[in-house]
């Protein structure tokens, strides 16, 4: 690698239990703060990452892409060694999985074409699922949950599931998948869209539970969507059951490892 400013993507995974979300904020510990510090230490310069999105306090990520620029890219003479050194500097609950050199105009947030989340629920007390899945006492009607979830698929205004006073240019999103899957004593909600509004997945799960647990009609979901009113939707479910699981880009091959050039 020659000297000069270069842009890189990092694929990151983390357990969000100990953090006040992804994004740096005053008087709170964030994942981004830890990652920026570790990168700055290795690259001997101030580094500011930018993520594909941001997760709230307690939310986990199995895959998050971030980008950063470096004047000292020549220090990354061995990508594998760089990843190893970076992970050694990071806490045990944050891991860097992949490093990619990308074109200078590549953008972790704006270039993402698809994002996927999971929400995990379990029904039998399990100490190993503390802060990893939401424990519910009563079983849910999975058939009704999936009938209601299908009403979410498509290009729609999802303002009813967004936190108020968020600075977004539109509430229109295109949901490509919304499905509940039973796995033993667990129930996992899978959802994929081109973009998500803040708090959207947790509000959607809470709304679907009004149908699958509290007996509201399946048409309730349609009524909530038509209202575009957050107060009509269900309560947001706890953050610790939520995982950001996948982000897609048109120029990243998910099957390749470590450093590539795009």
Distance CA 235, CA 227 (A): 16
List 66's β-bridge partners, or say none: 10, 51
Whole-Å CA distances, 68 to 14, 20, 105, 216: 18, 21, 11, 47
Q: Is 126 a catalytic residue?
A: no
Radius of gyration of the chain (CA): 20
Chain-centroid distance, C-alpha 157: 20
On the 0-12 / 13-18 / 19+ scale of CB atoms within 10 A, 188 is: middle
Q: Are 57 and 15 in contact (CB under 8 A)?
A: no
Would you mind telling me the total number of residues written for the chain in this entry?
262
Which of the following is catalytic: 15, 56, 111, 157?
56
Strands (E), 112-200: 114-122, 134-135, 154-157, 172-183, 186-193
Contact 8, 70 (CB under 8 A): yes
DSSP designation for 38: H
Q: Is 249 annotated as a binding residue?
A: no
Q: Which residues are annotated as a binding site for substrate?
A: 117
Q: Which residues are annotated as a binding site?
A: 117
* Catalytic sites, residue numbers: 56
């Amino acid at each position: 690698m020659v000297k000069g400013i270069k842009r890189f993507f990092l694929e990151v995974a983390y357990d969000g239990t100990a953090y006040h979300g992804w994004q740096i904020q005053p008087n709170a510990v964030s994942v981004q703060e830890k990652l920026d510090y570790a990168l700055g230490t290795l690259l001997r310069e101030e580094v500011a990452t930018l993520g594909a999105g941001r997760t709230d306090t307690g939310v986990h990520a199995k895959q998050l892409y971030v980008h950063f620029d470096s004047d000292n890219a020549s220090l990354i003479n061995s990508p594998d060694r760089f990843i190893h050194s970076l992970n050694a500097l990071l806490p045990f609950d944050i891991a860097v999985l992949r490093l990619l050199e990308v074109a200078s105009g590549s953008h972790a947030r704006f270039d993402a074409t698809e994002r996927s989340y999971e929400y995990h629920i379990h029904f039998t007390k399990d100490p190993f699922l503390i802060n990893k899945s939401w424990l519910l006492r009563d079983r849910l009607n999975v058939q009704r949950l999936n009938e209601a979830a299908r009403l979410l698929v498509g290009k729609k205004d999802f303002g009813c599931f967004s936190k108020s006073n968020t600075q977004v240019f539109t509430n229109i999103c295109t949901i490509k998948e919304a499905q509940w899957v039973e796995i033993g004593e667990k129930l996992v909600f899978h959802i994929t869209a081109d973009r998500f509004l803040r708090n959207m997945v947790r509000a959607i799960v809470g709304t679907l539970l009004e149908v699958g647990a509290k007996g509201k009609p399946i048409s309730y979901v349609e009524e909530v969507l038509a209202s575009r009113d957050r107060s009509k939707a269900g309560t947001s479910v706890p953050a610790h059951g939520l995982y950001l699981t996948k982000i897609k880009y048109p120029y990243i091959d998910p099957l390749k490892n470590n450093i590539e050039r795009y």
